Amino acid sequence: MFQNPEFHRMDVLSAQGEAFFFLIDFLMTDVKIFSPKDIENKTLLIDFPNVSNVNEEDEELPEFEWKSFPESLEIYQKGFELVQDHIKKGNSYLANYTRKTEIQTGLTMEQIFRFSKAKYKILLPDRFVCFSPETFIQIIQNKIVTHPMKGTIDAKVIHAEELLKNDPKEKAEHYTVVDLLRNDLSMVANDVKVNDFQRIDLIKTQQKDLLAMSSEIAGDIKPEYQNKIGSILQNLLPAGSILGAPKRKTLEIILEAEGYHRGFYTGIGGYFDGRNLDSCVMIRFIEKENGKLYFKSGGGITHRSILSHEYEEMKNKIYVPIY
């Protein structure tokens, strides 16, 4: 049974080999499908490795301010302690706890979209802009691949890569997400394997450079799921890297702890070209709400998490990749 009829529509379109772009919110209740004509008419702006409706312009980056107003440590702590209490009780062993932070900048949302450097960029006019480095799933000739990203560190820290790979908390968090995504893929694919473990990527920003840790997991799509993009996505969502494990109970926990509506933040955006699929997790996300801009960010909480470290990580992710 489809939770949203648009998932069934995706199955129909993909079975017919018709191209489309889609957005799915975190709770899988708001699913938007855009036709090639919508893309051509720039109903939304997208810049993906395999599809873009943005004209290259030699526009000069204006000088701009960037101010963020994170909530206090005390406010952050309330949700953090609720999450850790559930973890201590065995209700979850990894929960992705996020917050929203008001920001002020002289840049428009379209300028943030145009000047940001990221693998995946999406602008839904007057709603949100996303500049995500994280691939969700790719499907190429009935092979499915996912790249969960979990673990970041300031690139300026001495021996940053070694510290990130060997930090007990970050390591446990990454192992958990890889195991979760391997199990998720096994619902729709056979012969699922981890091909590239703990890959380190550099993410450049104007504020600071970060190192991010990812892994690659791949498998062969089961015959009953071939050419059924909607069914595949419905089985895999919400994405494990921005939810936690076990999924169902952890979702209840973070909804209680966060106390705000994520909306399309940590949802999925993707493009099916008629044969193959590329999609991203919509992290690094700025949303417009009542005339103000809010940056949504967070990180994985485990029993090893230290309050001050997690609070700083949440703040470190409030950046634009403009440099």
Q: What is the pLDDT of residues 130-181, one digit of tens each?
A: 999 889 999 999 999 988 776 677 778 777 777 777 777 777 777 788 888 8
- Hey, what amino acid is at 234? Q
Instruction: Provide Rg for the chain, Cα atoms.
Output: 19
pLDDT of residue 2: 53
Q: How far is CA 97 from CA 167, 226, 260, 286, 305, in A?
A: 19, 34, 11, 17, 11
In this prediction, residue 206 has a pLDDT band, given cuts at 50, 70 and 90, of low
Instruction: Assign 162 to helix, strand or coil.
Output: helix
Q: At what angle do helices 229-236 and 5-15 cross, to 10 degrees?
A: 140
d(CA 178, CA 241): 8
pLDDT-based confidence at residue 1 (cuts at 50, 70, 90): very low
Residues 281 and 133: their CA atoms lie apart, in Å, by 8
What integer best gives the mean pLDDT of the chain? Answer: 91
What's the pLDDT band for 322 if we cut at 50, 70, 90?
confident
Give me the phi and psi of 207, to 5 degrees please.
-75, -50
Q: Inform me whether the pLDDT recorded for 6 exceeds 80.
A: yes
Quote the CA–CA distance of 57 and 119 in Å, as a whole number.
Answer: 18
Q: What is the pLDDT of residue 207?
A: 63
Q: What is the pLDDT of residue 153?
A: 73
d(CA 177, CA 243): 9
Does the pLDDT value for residue 195 go beyond 90? Answer: no
- pLDDT for 179 equals 86
Q: What does the pLDDT read at residue 152?
A: 72
- Six-digit token string for 288: 């417009």
Helix (H) or strand (E) holding 175: helix 168-185
Q: Using CA atoms, how far apart are residues 316 and 68, in angstroms rounded to an integer?
A: 11
Max Cα distance, the chain (Å): 55
Judge whether residue 110 has pLDDT over 70. yes
Pick the range with the lowest mean pLDDT from 50-64, 96-110, 273-287.
50-64
Check whether 88 has a pLDDT greater than 90: yes
Mean pLDDT for the stretch of residues 199-214? 72
Per CATH, the architecture of 5-316 is what?
A: 4-Layer Sandwich (3.60)
Residue 234 has pLDDT above 90, yes or no: yes
